[in-house]
């Protein structure tokens, strides 16, 4: 038996404690599968814990743990993007491999961290950073390595998916469901990262980099939350055969000039009721990948929680244990699945260059010719209508008109909406939600 692999865990919150328990519970299985003894030698924690094996050194100086000579792999589970960055770079610069679940840190500073890892000939593994227990990083970096990925679409925030599911299934308003999500521990006291799409955008930046071999570019992800979604729109979407989900898209657009590039966008989306993603409910996550020659494949499961995240963390640890046990240097897939010198400079499209179908809800006075005016404006803008739903007049003679369009470049839709809102018969701002058939 080769020498023991020594782990340090930084942060003993829910996930860190889950990793400790997983290792203790499955120690024999881990040894059998890796051919190595795996031991936790140090933990970095701000307060001493009585439930930790006395043989494990507890240290409140996390930087010292990251540099310890008694550690081979550092598992970072403290979160945040400031001190966590410093401690990971400390570990890398001291020749330690790193496992992290910190999607915000990697999305915002991953280029620097991965460059440091390359320079020090160590690895940074991050399966737990995206979709929890779903092995989507491994699938895209390894199982789909021979495929050209055309697009991916993911429900990658469980809180947002729980809210949208409850609104649809039980007719509950957004604020009511959010309050319950906080009580259940699905949402933080400050839910901004979840409901405004920032958490999903962090994850999408990582997925897109792997899919297309581009540098991490979180700042170029178009991000729109779910706070403005109403029960009215949820109901109308259902009536038209769609469901509203909060989805992250990474799409490769081929073409000439400014039409070519990559779309990175997170926003509420109408998708067909019979689509696979439309039936991902509650706090579950799923990622749909469309690649050539394989076609569409769906990866589904728990996107958060101590068990799911600890499982993903230990999957990375096991990979690194095998690397450390190999006689071949750096026997591992590159961090972003492409060799660093082969990363593409493909541009990221701006929001107005992106293409999708649209759901439009227009409120107008119930006057003759109103619908004709609206459809004329859309036609003049080169926008094709797929379906129209006109509801009975209500409140002061106003009538809701719901229109579904075929895919169109956003700049065209912006101009059309501006002209519609300038009609004297239109009583309010046009509500727009993107629509995708996922084909």
The interaxial angle of helices 14-25 and 306-324, nearest 10 deg, is 60
How does DSSP assign 366-406, residue by residue? Answer: --TTHHHHHHHHHHHTT--EEEEEEPPPBTTTEEEEEEEEE
Is 148 an annotated catalytic residue?
no
Using only the alpha carbons of the chain, give its radius of gyration: 24
Structure tokens at 144: 């789909």
Q: In whole angstroms, what is the distance from residue 306 CA to residue 317 CA?
A: 16
Compute φ and ψ for 330, nearest 5 degrees: 55, 45
Set 85, 96, 203, 245: catalytic member: 203
User: Distance between CA atoms of 60 and 49, rounded to whole angstroms?
Assistant: 11
Beta-carbon neighbour count of residue 51 at 10 Å? 8
In sequence order, the β-bridge partners of residue 57 are 42
- Which 3-state string (H, E, C) describes 189-255? CCCHHHHCCHHHHHHHHHHHHHHHCCCCCHHHCEECCCCCCCHHHHHHHHHCCEEEEEEEEEEEECC
Q: What distance in Å separates the CA atoms of residue 233 and residue 243, rounded to the nearest whole number?
A: 10
Which segments of 290-348 does DSSP mark as H helices, in order?
A: 306-324
Give the DSSP letter string of 75-99.
EE-S--SSHHHHHHHHHHHTT-EEE
Measure the CA–CA gap between 94 and 66, rounded to whole angstroms. 8
**For residue 100, how far is the Cα from the chain centroid?**
16
The token pair that represents 254 in the structure block: 């081929």
What's the DSSP call for residue 139? I
Q: 60: buried, middle or exposed (CB in 10 Å: 19+, 13-18, 0-12)?
A: exposed
Six token digits for residue 80: 């945040």
Tokens at 408, concatenated = 């169109």
What amino acid positions are annotated as catalytic residues? Answer: 203
């Amino acid at each position: 038996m080769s020498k023991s692999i020594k782990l340090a865990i930084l942060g003993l919150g829910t996930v860190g404690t889950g990793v400790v328990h997983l290792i203790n519970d499955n120690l024999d299985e881990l040894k059998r599968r890796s051919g190595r003894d795996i031991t936790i030698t140090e933990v970095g924690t701000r307060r001493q814990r009585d439930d930790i094996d006395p043989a494990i050194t507890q240290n409140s100086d996390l930087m010292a743990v990251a540099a310890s000579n008694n550690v081979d792999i550092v598992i970072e589970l403290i979160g945040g993007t400031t001190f966590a960055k410093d401690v990971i770079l400390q570990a890398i610069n001291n020749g330690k491999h790193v496992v992290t679940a910190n999607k915000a840190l990697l999305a915002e500073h991953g280029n620097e961290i991965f460059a440091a890892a390359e320079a020090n000939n160590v690895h940074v593994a991050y399966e737990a950073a995206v979709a929890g227990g779903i092995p989507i990083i491994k699938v895209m970096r390894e199982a789909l390595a021979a495929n050209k990925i055309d697009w991916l679409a993911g429900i990658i925030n469980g809180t947002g998916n729980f809210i949208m599911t409850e609104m649809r299934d039980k007719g509950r308003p957004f604020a009511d469901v959010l309050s319950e999500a906080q009580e259940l521990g699905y949402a933080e006291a400050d839910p901004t990262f979840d409901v405004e799409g920032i958490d999903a955008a962090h994850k999408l930046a990582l997925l897109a980099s792997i899919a297309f071999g581009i540098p991490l570019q979180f700042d170029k992800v178009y991000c729109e939350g779910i706070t403005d979604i109403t029960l009215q729109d949820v109901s109308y979407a259902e009536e038209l055969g769609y469901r509203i989900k909060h989805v992250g898209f990474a799409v490769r657009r081929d073409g000439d000039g400014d039409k070519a590039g990559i779309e990175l966008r997170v926003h509420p989306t109408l998708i067909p009721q019979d689509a696979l993603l439309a039936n991902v409910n509650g706090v579950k996550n799923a990622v749909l990948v469309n690649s050539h020659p394989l076609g569409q494949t769906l990866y589904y499961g728990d996107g958060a929680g101590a068990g799911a995240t600890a499982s993903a963390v230990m999957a990375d640890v096991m990979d690194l244990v095998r690397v450390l046990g190999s006689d071949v240097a750096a026997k591992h897939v590159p961090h972003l699945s492409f060799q660093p010198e082969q990363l593409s400079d493909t541009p990221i499209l701006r929001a107005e260059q992106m293409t999708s179908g649209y759901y439009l809800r227009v409120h107008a006075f119930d006057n003759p010719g109103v619908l004709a005016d609206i459809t004329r404006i859309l036609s003049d803008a080169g926008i094709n209508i797929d379906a129209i739903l006109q509801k009975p007049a209500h409140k002061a003679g106003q009538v809701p008109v719901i229109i579904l369009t075929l895919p169109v470049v956003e700049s065209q839709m912006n101009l059309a909406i501006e002209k519609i809102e300038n009609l004297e018969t239109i009583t309010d701002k046009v509500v727009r939600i993107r629509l995708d058939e996922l084909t």
